[in-house]
């Protein structure tokens, strides 16, 4: 979780691995472009759109995605769009494949919070199942692998469940009413347009 993006009222989860990966790939793309231009500018110019496309795609897939918990809603900031789900709409929180919120609108998964692989589960310890929100535990106090506190899906689910349970216990969700027939969705038009332009430019540059 990125603590720099958190406050008392708003909590933002971003996977550390994804952000590190994005930085590494973008730095490598920039370094490759610079070294190529110095060595052979004419040949390298053809590959600049492709390098820019790779950097933009990695930024969109691994840097930008997040789960944002606010007093009013949960925002799932995915690759192509951000979905805002108000708390009264949240019926169940699942982590089987990724953090997934079940609502009357449908099911919405968080790109930023995938469930862990077997290797990561094997590295977990007793601390990963202690002091979690009560709705995390299943029959007999069992905890699903995706809810382990050391995993991305588990960390994101902990933030969502903690706020959801606090609202539930305060009676805020006793009579849930939805103000909209559909959740608010913000498409990442700028990102999609940039990727489309860079794909076209890459194909054109490599074809010449």
pLDDT in tens, 118-150: 888 888 888 888 889 999 998 888 898 999 999
Q: pTM for this structure?
A: 0.88
Give residue 4's pLDDT. 44
Alpha-carbon distance 90 to 99, whole Å? 13
Alpha-carbon distance 134 to 188, whole Å? 35
Is 87 in contact with 67 (CB distance < 8 Å)? Answer: no
- Provide the strand spans (E) within 14-130: 66-69, 73-77, 81-86, 92-94, 98-103, 106-114
pLDDT, mean over the chain: 92
19 has pLDDT over 80: yes
38 has pLDDT over 60: yes
pLDDT in tens, 43-87: 999 999 999 999 999 999 999 999 999 999 999 999 999 999 999
């Amino acid at each position: 979780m990125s603590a720099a993006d958190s406050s008392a009222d708003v909590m933002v989860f971003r996977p550390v691995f994804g952000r590190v990966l994005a930085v590494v790939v973008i730095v490598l793309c920039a370094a490759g472009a610079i070294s190529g231009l110095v060595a052979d500018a004419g040949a390298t110019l053809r590959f600049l759109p492709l390098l820019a496309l790779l950097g933009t795609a990695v930024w969109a897939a691994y840097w930008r995605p997040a789960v944002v918990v606010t007093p009013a809603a949960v925002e799932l900031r995915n690759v192509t769009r951000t979905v805002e789900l108000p708390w009264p709409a949240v019926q169940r929180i699942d982590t089987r494949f990724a953090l997934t919120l079940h609502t009357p609108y449908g099911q919405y998964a968080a790109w930023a919070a995938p469930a862990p692989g077997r290797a990561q589960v094997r590295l977990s310890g007793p601390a990963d199942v202690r002091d979690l929100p009560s709705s995390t535990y299943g029959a007999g106090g069992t905890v699903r692998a995706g809810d382990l506190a050391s995993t991305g899906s588990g960390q994101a689910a902990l933030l969502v469940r903690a706020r959801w349970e606090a609202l539930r216990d305060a009676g805020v969700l006793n009579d849930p009413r939805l103000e909209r027939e559909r959740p608010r969705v913000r498409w990442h038009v700028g990102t999609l347009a940039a990727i489309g332009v860079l794909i076209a430019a890459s194909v054109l540059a490599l074809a010449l």
